[in-house]
Amino acid sequence: MSSRLGPVITLTAGAVLALGLGAASIAAAPAAKDSAAAPAAKESAATGTRTDTTANTPTAEASPSGNAESAEESTASASPSPTPTEPKKIEKADYGGRVKGNGALIAISIRNGKAVGYFCDGRIEAWFTGAESAGELRLKSVADPRSTVKAELDGGRAEGTVTVAGKRWSFKAPAVTKPSGLYRATAIVRGAKFRAGWILVRNPNGGYYQVGAAFAGEEQLDVPQLDAARPTAPITVEGTTVYPKDADSFVEEMQ
């Protein structure tokens, strides 16, 4: 009896052992998978944490700096550099007087900082243009840039020097009012361009000093006299009617 049961018991025990080993392996497999997945999950989580930190940290650090720089640039652009104050310009002034050592007259007219000057002794004449700034006058001859007028405007007069044809003289020209001042006329006479200039300056003893010059092309003509009471009244030059103008009409035009 015992000899028959021995193999059965042996087989049964082997089967039970096999079943136990199989169950153990089945139970062990998920544990192995879980244990393998856990480090991966931890690594992934750790990597993700590091990635997020790396991505977020520069943004957190750059943002305040960037905003500060933008604010500084915005403030700089919103605060323009101070503009230097421009020197005050004379809106309107007229001067006229004698040139020392020459006997000629000089007249200067200023309109909104732009200036025209005229020198004449009855034979030689010179027109000047330029500008006034902060009480200083700098003019150059229309025909010869070497001829100049330089003057200071102060105390109701223009005082300085005039250079014409290589010669220089000083002058003091007080402020004047109409009819004293500078006059000019242009026209076409005998097919040539006519131009003339006049200076009127009040004579302390009565009446006016008057000097001028007239040209048709390059030919010098006898200059007609202006009516001191009405200096812009029409005049006749060799059969042609000419209309003198005061400085209000030609200062801007001559610049």
What is the DSSP secondary-structure string of 163-175? EETTEEEEEEEEB
- The answer to the question of residue 43 being in a domain is yes
For the entire predicted model, the pTM comes to: 0.67
44 and 105 in one domain? no
| pLDDT at 82 (0 to 100) | 59
Tally of domains in the chain: 2
Q: Which domain holds residue 115?
A: 92-254
- For the chain, residues with pLDDT lower than 70 are 1-84
Structure tokens at 204: 């302390």
Report the run of H or E that residue 67 belongs to, with start and end.
Answer: helix 2-78
162 and 38 in one domain? no
- The answer to the question of residue 193 being in a domain is yes
| pLDDT at 112 (0 to 100) | 95
Encode pLDDT of 58-69 as tens digits.
444 444 444 545
220 and 115 in one domain? yes
153 and 203 in one domain? yes
- The answer to the question of residue 102 being in a domain is yes
172-183 burial code (b ≥16 CB/10 A, e <16): ebebbeebbbbb
- The answer to the question of residue 77 being in a domain is no
- The answer to the question of residue 46 being in a domain is yes
- The answer to the question of residue 187 being in a domain is yes
> How far is it, in rounded angstroms, from Cα 212 to Cα 191?
22
| pLDDT at 214 (0 to 100) | 96
37 and 114 in one domain? no
> How far is it, in rounded angstroms, from Cα 52 to Cα 61?
14
- The answer to the question of residue 155 being in a domain is yes
CA 84 to chain centre: 11
Tallying the residues shown for the chain, one arrives at 255
Greatest CA separation for the chain = 177
124 and 14 in one domain? no
> How far is it, in rounded angstroms, from Cα 197 to Cα 250?
12
**What are the residues facing 167 on neighbouring strands?**
164
